Amino acid sequence: MQVDERGYYGQFGGAFIPEMLYPNVEELRTTYRSIMERQSFKKEFDGLLKTFVGRPTPLYLASRLSEKYKAKVYLKREDLCHTGAHKVNNTVGQIILAKHLGKSKIIAETGAGQHGVATATVCALMGMECIVYMGKLDMERQKPNVERMKILGAAVIPSLSGSMTLKDATNEAMRHWISHPEDTHYIIGSVVGPHPYPDMVARFQSVISKEIRSQLTEEQGNPYPDYVIACVGGGSNAAGAFYHFVEEQHVNLIGVEAAGKGVDTGESAATTVLGKPGVLHGSKTLLMQTADGQVIEPYSISAGLDYPGIGPMHAHLFDVGRVRFLNATDEEAMNAGIALSRLEGIIPAIESAHAVAALDKLTFDTEDVVVINLSGRGDKDLETYIRWGKY
Ligand SMILES: *Cc1c(COP(=O)(O)O)cnc(C)c1O
């Protein structure tokens, strides 16, 4: 799991950035580890995770789900984090880091708006100016999140170029950062982007597996599950859930991607099945692309998994066979989300429902301990559940 000096995990990673951005990324690269090790940093981060985010999140033994799958199934309840998902673990970490770097302004880009909301939330918390770039088309599709960001005091700037979606918003955020290097920090929302972002975000999210270890020790006398299952968009909740188990070869790590309408339909986001090595958002990774290297538009019913690549760490863990990747279609995920609601009284985010759907694709021994990282709650997806209708 350790990234090398140049930001590589095996053949994946690195920092493929325009020269103009080099000073910003270099400042971060040379300082992030030492800042994160400061006592004052740790104290504030741990304190806010506890009192603002609501950590530790419970590790819940889902007994009716366990009965159905004939194994001990636990849910790591990231859906109970403030703002309803794991993303806030990372934004809390990065905003404290920004303060240590002497930055007073924050920029971010967002697709579905979840990362934008998590960023606007911590900017309000710290009284920092917040600008979120978002494709104009995405703003129309994700109106409630746009309004949430505005209520929190963020400026949401529509990107009018290209397809008016995430990649255009990313380009504009980069451009802003290049012209404001002194006072601005750019918060990336997953384990993607140029080094050091993937490693930094994974470290902030690693609190998830740290807690799983201590919670399982308390429950069963040892820290090891047999399986950890997490959905993978960019891969930050999975990175957090896997982090402290990667060296333990006997723990099966399962990443679940969105198959959309099916991996062979042309409407999918299953990067490990369809992707080839290439450069995306500043790092070398696996991405869905045409023969001449054009990024293929991904598709998933769940906005958070609708991403054409995966973080370089996951590309590497897939490459070396340490993480097994499965995928779930829209239909499998929706059915799993509704089943979880009925069996356990928990309506999951549709992203997280993909992880639950993996239970149908694995076979367990009755003694197996299975931890599903439930990355978020389903409130934001109510419209999608209603449109789906089959409940
Ligand atoms: C954003 C999001 C994801 C996907 O992002 P990762 O970086 O892969 O974790 C998954 N679940 C929820 C609830 C999300 O909001």
User: Looking at residue 184, what is its pLDDT?
Assistant: 98
Ligand 1 is surrounded, with C-beta below 6 A, by 85, 87, 114, 190, 231-238, 304-305, 349, 351-352, 375-376
Three-state secondary structure of the chain: CCCCCCCEECCEECCCCCHHHHHHHHHHHHHHHHHHHCHHHHHHHHHHHHHHHCCCCCEEECHHHHHHHCCEEEEEEHHHCHHHECHHHHHHHHHHHHHHCCCCEEEEEECCCHHHHHHHHHHHHHCCEEEEEEEHHHHHHCHHHHHHHHHCCCEEEEECCCCCCHHHHHHHHHHHHHHCCCCEEECCCCCCCCCCHHHHHHHHHCHHHHHHHHHHHHHHCCCCCCEEEEECCCCHHHHHHHHHHCCCCCCEEEEEEEEECECCCCECCCHHHHCEEEEECCEEEEECECCCCCECCCCCCCHHHCCCECCHHHHHHHHCCCEEEEEEEHHHHHHHHHHHHHHHCCCECHHHHHHHHHHHHCCCCCCCEEEEEECEEHHHHHHHHHHHCCC
User: Looking at residue 377, what is its pLDDT?
Assistant: 97
- Closest-CA residue, ligand 1 atom 5, reads 233
pTM value surpassing 0.75: yes
User: Looking at residue 141, what is its pLDDT?
Assistant: 86
Nearest-CA neighbor of 15 among 194, 193, 200? 194
User: Looking at residue 334, what is its pLDDT?
Assistant: 98
Token pair 């889902």 is found at 62
User: Looking at residue 162, what is its pLDDT?
Assistant: 87
Take residue 166 and report the two structure tokens written for it: 């995430």
Choice from 114, 142, 187 to test ligand 1 binding pocket (greatest atom count within 8 A of CB): 114
Q: Tell which atom from ligand 1 comes closest to the C-alpha of 79.
A: 13
Ligand 1 centroid, distance to 221 Cα (angstroms): 30
Q: How many helices (DSSP H) and strands (DSSP E) are in the chain?
A: 16, 14
Q: Tell which atom from ligand 1 comes closest to the C-alpha of 191.
A: 7
Choice from 76, 145, 231, 350 to test ligand 1 binding pocket (greatest atom count within 8 A of CB): 231
Ligand 1 centroid, distance to 83 Cα (angstroms): 13
**Integer-rounded Cα radius of gyration of the chain:** 19
Q: What is the pLDDT of residues 135-180, one digit of tens each?
A: 999 999 899 999 999 999 999 999 999 889 898 899 999 999 999 9
Strand (E) positions, the chain? Answer: 8-9, 12-13, 59-61, 72-77, 105-110, 129-135, 155-159, 184-186, 227-231, 252-260, 276-280, 283-287, 323-329, 369-374
Choice from 91, 204, 305 to test ligand 1 binding pocket (greatest atom count within 8 A of CB): 305
Note down pLDDT in tens along the chain; length 391 residues.
789 999 999 999 999 999 999 999 999 999 999 999 999 999 999 999 999 999 999 999 999 999 999 999 999 999 999 999 999 999 999 999 999 999 999 999 999 999 999 999 999 999 999 999 999 999 998 999 999 999 999 999 999 998 898 988 999 999 999 999 999 999 999 999 999 999 999 999 999 999 999 999 999 999 999 999 999 999 999 999 999 999 999 999 999 999 999 999 999 999 999 999 999 999 999 999 999 999 999 999 999 999 999 999 999 999 999 999 999 999 999 999 999 999 999 999 999 999 999 999 999 999 999 999 999 999 999 999 999 999 9
Q: Which domains does the chain have, with CATH numbers?
A: 9-48+87-201 (3.40.50.1100), 54-85+205-388 (3.40.50.1100)
Q: What is the pLDDT of residues 89-116, one digit of tens each?
A: 999 999 999 999 999 999 999 999 999 9
Ligand 1 centroid, distance to 35 Cα (angstroms): 26
Which amino acid belongs to residue 42? Answer: K
Ligand 1 centroid, distance to 189 Cα (angstroms): 9
Provide the 8-state DSSP code for 58. Answer: P
Q: Tell which atom from ligand 1 comes closest to the C-alpha of 205.
A: 9
Q: Kindly list the catalytic residues.
A: 87, 109, 375
Output b/e per residue, 126-165; b: 16+ Cβ within 10 A: bebebbbbbbbbbbeebeebbebbeebebebbbbeeeebb
Ligand 1 centroid, distance to 37 Cα (angstroms): 26
| 36: exposed, middle or buried (Cβ count in 10 Å: 0-12, 13-18, 19+) | middle
- Closest-CA residue, ligand 1 atom 2, reads 304
Q: Tell which atom from ligand 1 comes closest to the C-alpha of 189.
A: 7
